[in-house]
């Protein structure tokens, strides 16, 4: 079948047990497993248009020409697998700020592989899509699935078992996530660079890595038991340990802004008042606050009162990647 245009949409995901470091940079294999929530509001929609008249792939990201190399590497595998050597025009649109610590690469590569799979009619199953997405960006492997998702570290040298799997559907435990956007500008150090620098230079990196299996176990148990307090403990602990390892890199990586700390304080105040909420922070200054649905409004009100918060994005848990046509 001749390749034809296809569009797919994927939600960003927020890791509760973080991915921070690689064991193989070529296959983009993670140094440890991770665990995340897929969100319904932060979405990327990507269209892949195979075009015989092109002499190279092109990428438009939110309407602007962008570096196509990581996208081309993904498309190359679909070209090889399908036997169709046609270049593609790729159009990708985020409904949220790109590159500001809101996991744009996760939704982007998940949407890209699903669109490419449909365009090239390669008919990969979700596990194979997750592997392909991982090759683009580690966290993208998780955005293939909805709800609660675990990414396996894997043991095979070819990376075929370093894939994500769904743990629990979004409906089974409908948590909410309020994202407090502190700075919409792109971050100074990308997660890829930040984790490589941490791994190569931080004296605390081995301690970080050693803690992940225990955190994964604790998070899995908390999710199975719908134990919000236990999930809060492991979620905040994993985020702070990741940032502690990054802070100790040389030179140190400081992703936070004053408003980031003010938000952490606000979450602690909410917790003291008995509100079921906890924070997590990725490679940027934004703070994501996970809460029970009944706490959503109170959390949003408290966060919006903090100086330096530019806007809030109130998310529910969302579905996995889907092809739109």
Q: Which is nearer to ligand DP6, 49 or 103 (CB)?
A: 103
Site string for ligand DP6, 246-285 (x = CB under 6 A): ------------------------------------xx--
- Judge residue 209's burial from the number of C-beta atoms within 10 Å of its C-beta, 0-12 exposed, 13-18 middle, 19 or more buried: middle
Q: Please identify, among the stretches 135-143, 211-219, 287-295, 315-323, the one whose residues bind ligand DP6 according to the rule CB under 6 A.
A: 135-143
Pairing, β 164-168 against β 148-151: antiparallel
Among positions 92, 191, 198, 245, the unique one binding ligand DP6 when judged by CB under 6 A? 191
Q: Please identify, among the stretches 17-25, 43-51, 260-268, 289-297, the one whose residues bind ligand DP6 according to the rule CB under 6 A.
A: 17-25
Q: Which of 51, 178, 46 is nearest to 117 (CA)?
A: 46
Distance CA 104, CA 62 (A): 12
Among positions 7, 34, 44, 197, the unique one binding ligand DP6 when judged by CB under 6 A? 34
208 belongs to the binding site for ligand DP6 (CB under 6 A) = no
Instruction: Tell me the closest approach of the beta carbon of residue 19 to ligand DP6, in angstroms.
Output: 3
Alpha carbon separation from 82 to 2, 35, 48, 75, 313 (Å, rounded): 10, 32, 15, 11, 39
Among positions 38, 139, 245, 260, the unique one binding ligand DP6 when judged by CB under 6 A? 139
168 belongs to the binding site for ligand DP6 (CB under 6 A) = no
Q: By the 8 A CB rule, do 263 and 309 touch?
A: yes
Tokens of 198: 């941490």
202 belongs to the binding site for ligand DP6 (CB under 6 A) = no
Element (H, E) at 109: helix 104-119
198 belongs to the binding site for ligand DP6 (CB under 6 A) = no
The sign one gets for the Cα dihedral 106, 111, 116, 118 is: positive
Alpha carbon separation from 97 to 156, 178, 185 (Å, rounded): 35, 15, 8
118 belongs to the binding site for ligand DP6 (CB under 6 A) = no
Instruction: Tell me the closest approach of the beta carbon of residue 145 to ligand DP6, in angstroms.
Output: 14
Beta bridge partners of 37: 14, 148
- Binding residues for ligand DP6, how many (CB under 6 A)? 15
10 belongs to the binding site for ligand DP6 (CB under 6 A) = no
Note the residues at the interface with ligand DP6 (CB under 6 A).
15, 18-20, 28, 34, 103, 105, 137-139, 191-192, 282-283
């Amino acid at each position: 079948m001749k390749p034809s245009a296809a569009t797919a949409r994927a939600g960003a995901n927020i890791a509760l047990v973080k991915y921070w470091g690689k064991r193989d940079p070529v296959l983009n294999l993670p140094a440890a497993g991770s665990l995340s929530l897929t969100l319904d509001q932060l979405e990327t929609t990507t269209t892949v248009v195979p075009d015989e008249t092109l002499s190279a792939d092109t990428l438009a990201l939110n309407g602007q020409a962008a570096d196509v190399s990581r996208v081309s590497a993904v498309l190359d595998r679909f070209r090889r697998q399908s036997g169709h050597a046609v270049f593609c025009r790729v159009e990708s649109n985020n409904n949220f700020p790109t590159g500001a610590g809101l996991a744009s690469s996760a939704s982007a590569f998940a949407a890209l592989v699903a669109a490419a799979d449909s365009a090239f009619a390669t008919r990969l199953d979700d596990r194979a899509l997750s592997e392909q997405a991982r090759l683009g960006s580690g966290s993208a492997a998780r955005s293939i699935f909805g709800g609660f998702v675990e990414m396996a570290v894997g043991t095979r040298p070819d990376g075929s078992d370093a894939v994500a799997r769904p743990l629990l559907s979004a409906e089974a435990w409908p948590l909410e996530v309020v994202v407090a956007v502190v700075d919409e500008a792109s971050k100074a150090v990308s997660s890829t660079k930040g984790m490589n620098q941490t791994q190569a230079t931080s004296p605390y990196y081995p301690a970080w890595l050693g803690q992940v299996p225990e955190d994964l176990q604790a998070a899995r148990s908390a999710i199975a038991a719908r134990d919000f307090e236990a999930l809060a403990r492991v979620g905040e602990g994993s985020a702070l340990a990741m940032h502690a390892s990054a802070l100790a890199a040389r030179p140190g990586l400081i992703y936070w802004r004053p408003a980031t700390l003010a938000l952490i304080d606000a979450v602690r105040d909410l917790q003291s008042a008995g509100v079921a909420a906890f924070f997590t922070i990725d490679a940027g200054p934004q703070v994501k606050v996970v809460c029970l649905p009944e706490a959503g409004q109170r959390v949003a009100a408290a966060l919006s009162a903090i100086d330096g918060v530019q806007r809030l994005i109130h998310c529910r848990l969302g579905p996995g990647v889907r092809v739109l046509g």
